[in-house]
Amino acid sequence: MGPDIVRDFSNDHSALALNTATLGHNLEGHGAGWSPEQVIDACAERGYGGIVFWRREVGTRAQEIGDRVRAAGMQVVGLCRTPFLTGPLVPGGHDAIMDDFFASIDMAAGLGASVLTIVTGGPEPRLKPLIESQKILADRIALAAPYAAERGVNLALEPLNPVYGGNRTCVMTVADALRVCDMVGAPNLGVAVDVYHVWWDTTLPDALAKAGQRILGYHLCDWLADTSDMLLDRGMMGDGVADLKGIRSAVEAAGYRGLCEVEIFSSQNWWQREPTEVLDTVVDRFRSVC
Amino acid sequence: MGPDIVRDFSNDHSALALNTATLGHNLEGHGAGWSPEQVIDACAERGYGGIVFWRREVGTRAQEIGDRVRAAGMQVVGLCRTPFLTGPLVPGGHDAIMDDFFASIDMAAGLGASVLTIVTGGPEPRLKPLIESQKILADRIALAAPYAAERGVNLALEPLNPVYGGNRTCVMTVADALRVCDMVGAPNLGVAVDVYHVWWDTTLPDALAKAGQRILGYHLCDWLADTSDMLLDRGMMGDGVADLKGIRSAVEAAGYRGLCEVEIFSSQNWWQREPTEVLDTVVDRFRSVC
């Protein structure tokens, strides 16, 4: 098991993928209002190896966008993301969550994306021990994993920084994610490792070694020493305190050979800049500090 | 080893201590501009078992304030806190840090506080693997621990939520704190367990069991599902998602018999209320949900 994209981790930046969030995909009126086609062309020109899209950008054009990426010589590395699978009730409850989960799988399959990212949602209301929410999460993933497998889609469970533990995640560490993987036991379920979320974890090398081939994605940015916003103040690689080379070494040592996906939410800095400058900076930093 | 305050964990709220931060100690013009004497009297009236002060409130009156607390039938449970021991250089460098560390120990001794809380400071600049910053932290604690021991002061290393990992802490979990304790090897060094910082950690029961008698403090508040501020939006017990009863059980099972210290930084909610209302609510919630 594992993503079907295999690259060497050389200093060649074809191992680099862009997550479109890095261009401020949800900031109205910004240059990052670029169409998927503009993003694809700009990444291809710069030698990126792949792109990760968000559902809102894909809409009904999954096949078309996927083909365009491949025609440009790149891969659709992933799709962001499933709906929250746990947490406060949404209208329609469990059935509505699962319908949207299946829809996200269909879109990933349409794009030809090998990986669909799972952001779990927060703790279930009034269910205090966090592991109880993880069990509900596991049950819901188990219902969808075979459907995804039939469509060639791997599911990457992404632990989020504990600061999101109130309402966005019930999986805080790679070890948490592996516990849920073990509960589900599906061959197409693994883990997405995002340095923003896990950089602080001194047990990370051990957890990554245990994860091994279950690492389905590796996400880059940096943790700024003076982070000013919990959601939208991620740093460019090299501008923060995360041990990027050390984490990448541990991810490699565990056997990961997929692309490195740059995902920077930065409403006051990088989203204010020209997308071309951002894309060039990402390449420079990837070669120099990652 | 352990704090010299021993209480049963009954439903008697003499096991309750107030950390004065809960009354908005640093919000100018607020009712919480109460003098230490006012805080002492209000806590004693309500049957609190102890108080934890901050250095700025104590100034040169350590002995006087400590005596007043004891005359009111309570304990000075602790003092907040050491200076940051790691992180970006301060004027005066290492020597200035250590001088202030020793001064905080002197104040704790003067108060008759059995515990001085260590908030470590962030990662050392340009020293990427976090464990390297922990080693520097351990070296500095080792220089001060005997001085504290001679004065009857225990040092409680407090892991902080990973969201503070950029600039306030290099110790994120109880397991991290125990690693540093092991590096130092001082009999008067232990761990402060604050639910705000550790509630999300599914390995916490194991870490607490390992900590055993090294647990020197237990701090209460709650993690609000929709936390709006990284520093000043802590919840009153019962208003959030943390498993307060579960964590307390684990702390008790590990052998902790000290007081439960309520520490709620809440600039937009609890700090806006009358201190008497806050103190009464703390008692109610302590009895009902902790």
pLDDT in tens, A70-79: 999 999 999 9
Q: Which domains does chain B have, with CATH numbers?
A: 13-289 (3.20.20.150)
A23-64 confidence digits (pLDDT tens): 997 555 544 679 999 999 999 999 999 999 999 999 999 999
Scanning every residue of chain A, which has its alpha carbon at the shortest distance from the alpha carbon of B246?
A129
Residue A183 reports pLDDT greater than 70? yes
Examine residue B140 and say whether the peptide bond preceding it is cis (omega within 30 degrees of 0): no
pLDDT value for B265: 96
Reply yes or no on whether the pLDDT at B71 is more than 60.
yes
Token pair of A286 as six digits: 């990837």
Are B42 and B276 in contact by the 8 Å Cβ rule? The answer is: yes
DSSP string for A171-230: --SHHHHHHHHHHH--TTEEEEEEHHHHTT-TTHHHHHHHHGGGEEEEEE-B--TT---T
Specify the pLDDT at position A32.
60
pLDDT higher than threshold 90 for residue B26: no
Q: pLDDT averaged over chain A?
A: 94
Residue B162 in contact with partner chain A when CB distance is under 8 A = yes
Between chains, do A202 and B166 touch, taking CB under 8 Å as contact? Answer: no
pLDDT in the model for residue B7: 43
Instruction: Dump pLDDT digits (tens) for B159-186.
Output: 999 999 999 999 999 999 999 999 999 9
Out of A165, A167, A179, whose CB is closest to B200?
Answer: A165
Interface membership of B205 toward A (CB under 8 Å): no
* Mean pLDDT to the nearest integer, A203-229: 97
Q: Is pLDDT of B8 > 70?
A: no
Please, what is the end-to-end C-alpha distance for chain A in angstroms?
A: 26
For A196, nearest residue in chain B (alpha carbons) = B163
Alpha carbon distance B55, B16 (integer Å): 21
The predicted pLDDT at position A33 comes to 79
Here the tokens at position B198 are 């550790």
**Residue in B130, B131, B241 nearest the CB of A166:** B241
Tokens at residue A99, please?
């319908």
* Greatest extent of chain B over all pairs of C-alpha atoms, in Å: 51
Can you give the pLDDT at residue A235? 98
More confident residue, A30 or B79: B79
A225: contact with B, CB 8 A cutoff? yes
Contact yes or no for A166/B225 (Cβ under 8 A):
yes
Burial A208-220 (b: 16+ CB within 10 A, else e): beebeebbbbbbb
- In this model, does residue B32 exceed pLDDT 70? no
Pick from A165, A240, A243: which is nearest to B129 by CB?
Answer: A243
Cis check: omega of the bond before B81, within 30 degrees of 0: yes
Confidence class of residue B33 from pLDDT cuts 50, 70 and 90?
A: confident
* Interface contact flag, A200 B165, Cβ < 8 Å: yes
Does this complex have an ipTM over 0.90?
yes
Inter-chain residue contact B166 with A243, CB threshold 8 Å: no
pLDDT tens figures, B213-242: 999 999 999 999 999 999 999 999 999 999
- Reference A259, options A290, A222, A224, A223; nearest CA is A290
- Strands (E) in B58-180, as ranges, are 75-80, 115-118, 154-157
* Structure confidence at residue B2 (pLDDT): 45
Distance of alpha carbon B89 from alpha carbon B70, whole angstroms = 39
Contact B161 A166 (CB under 8 A): no
pTM, whole model, 2 decimals? 0.94
Across the range A133-145, mean pLDDT stands at 98
Among the partner-chain residues B165, B199, B245, the one whose CB lies closest to the CB of A223 is B165
Does B6 score more than 60 pLDDT? no
What was the pLDDT predicted at A9? 43
| pLDDT recorded at residue A28 | 53
Mutate which of B200, B232, B245 to disrupt the A interface (most A C-beta within 10 Å)? B200
Residue A10 has what pLDDT? 46
* pLDDT of the residue at A98: 98
3-state secondary structure of B149: helix
Pairing verdict, β B260-262 and B16-19: parallel
Q: What is the pLDDT of residue A2?
A: 46
pLDDT of B82-105, one tens digit each? 999 999 988 999 999 999 999 999
Element (H, E) at A136: helix A130-150
